[in-house]
Amino acid sequence: MKFNVKNIDIKKEKNIYIITGIFEKYKLSKYTKIIDAFTRNYISSLFKENIFQNCKIGQSLFLNYLPNLPFTKVLLVYCGKEKKYDEYTYKKIIKSIINTLNYVSYKKVFFSISNINIINKDEYWKIRLGIEYFRECMYEFKKFKRNINSSLSHISKEIIFPIKSNKDKIIYDNAIKDALIISNAVEYVKNLSNMPPNICNSNYLIKKTYNFANKHKNKINIKILKKNEIEKLNMNAYLSVSNGSINEPMISIIKYNGNNNLKLKPIVIIGKGVTFDCGGISIKPSSKMDEMKYDMCGAASIYGIMHVISELNIPLNVIGISVVCENMISERSYRPGDIIKTMSGKTVEILNTDAEGRLILCDILHYVRKFNPEMIIDIATLTGACVVALGHHMSGFMSNNKLLIKQIIKASIETGDLVWNLPISKIYHKNLQSNIADMTNTGIGGAGAITAACFLSKFISKKLSWIHLDIAGTAWHYSKRNYATGRPVKLISQFLINYSSLYKR
């Protein structure tokens, strides 16, 4: 599908579908008024029949015949009250339009509904969000289907957004470019996350890393740490998690150098990549265990984020790290009651082998000190407690830096990839006290998402800025099996875009 910005002459265009809006009390949008004038008030005449009475936002009406416009078809979309919309309503309208377009086949669709005003969003954002929502609504994962014909394959080959003036064309073109780069990255992460665990293991992700490097030559460098190198680094907590699996662990390090300023420290982004998590000896319930292939969504998101910043040439130095293994059961599995010495030298008493993500991350958080980073961001499907706290609409995040908290929230609002800031106060650290080791790997009582972050904070230098993002509730749609969301690619990518503009060089 192509996206374009231009104005059209509806009298001359053939085989085009115009999507335009009407509001409550039959108020017409800008392009609806134009069409109505051309058709001698044909649209206005329909309102006498109260055809949109008691309609919901997004409901639509096909107009297959219009006087004076024999080659033009129109889809009238009810947009509710004429006011500034929020992003949720905008997305709802687009989703409804996509569902309706299933029943038509046209090469071009003129999407004039983009003239709707969205709260705190300029023309750039309306175009960009419109494209991102189109791509999101049309996503399908059919790699393992014998019948690969898409139910959406007949939808128009080109979506055209109206342009207000020629002066705005540069802004619109940039919006399209950015939207397509980000959408491609999100779809890549979705495809990777949706892969089954018998295929998507550590060896598979190593190949993906090399493929990624070949695609982005001259922009990135990669390094793969395999099991023998990980052992030499004494990452015993990470290795303990992987011991029960025949698939060996691996760490993928992708370095992007977007700024030659030698004083500019890198930003390190870490993704948890448990390609399947049965819980180990503390085995999970069998119900929905198939969804534990999504425990590698944090690692998958690294590829998407690194794609965005390299394609957009973001003037930062960023290191993306995917930490990959499996948490399985065998005679080699680590056990509740074990005490493990981490790479940092701190010891951990294992109370639950299903609290494995923090064990993987604690070693890599200590390891990345070698890069002398500006900040660390870790992304993980870490705790079911975060799902209990926030459900599936918002990711939980914690940080030791107030400025970064504000910047993450700003990027969240801009992209619609919503987050909620949770505390990491010292009062929660007592939940990790152990009588026989430096700490336990799980807390007692509630606040499990916070306790997990408190555990990780023990491996972060006090002087180092850090963001922890728990995507357990947002990495995939719980109501739809085998459907990853691609979050938080848009969020972190936008955060880095914004951060690069704020950074004083």
Question: Do 449 and 422 form a contact (C-beta atoms < 8 A)?
Answer: yes
Question: What whole-number distance in Å separates Cα of residue 32 and Cα of residue 50?
Answer: 17
Answer yes or no: 487 catalytic.
no
Task: Select which of 358, 458, 487, 490 is catalytic.
Answer: 358
DSSP states of 49-104: GTTTTTPPTT-EEEE---TT-TTEEEEEEE--SSSPBPHHHHHHHHHHHHHHHTT-
Entry field: residues in the chain? 505
Radius of gyration, CA atoms only, the chain? 25
Query: What's the CA gap between 496 and 222, in Å, rounded?
Result: 20
In 3-state terms, what secondary structure has residue 421? strand
Residue in the structure block whose two tokens are 């051309």: 38
> Can you tell me the distance from the alpha carbon of 492 to that of 415, in angstroms, rounded to the nearest whole number?
10
Pick from 239, 1, 28, 42: nearest CA to 138 = 1
Which residues are CB-neighbours of 333 under 8 A, at least 6 positions away?
Answer: 243, 244, 280, 281, 353
- Between CA 444 and CA 433 the distance in angstroms is 9
Q: State the Cα–Cα distance between residues 303 and 315, nearest whole angstrom.
A: 18
Choose the catalytic residue: 284, 341, 346, 369: 284
Residue 284 falls in the annotated catalytic set: yes
- Give the catalytic positions in this structure: 284, 358
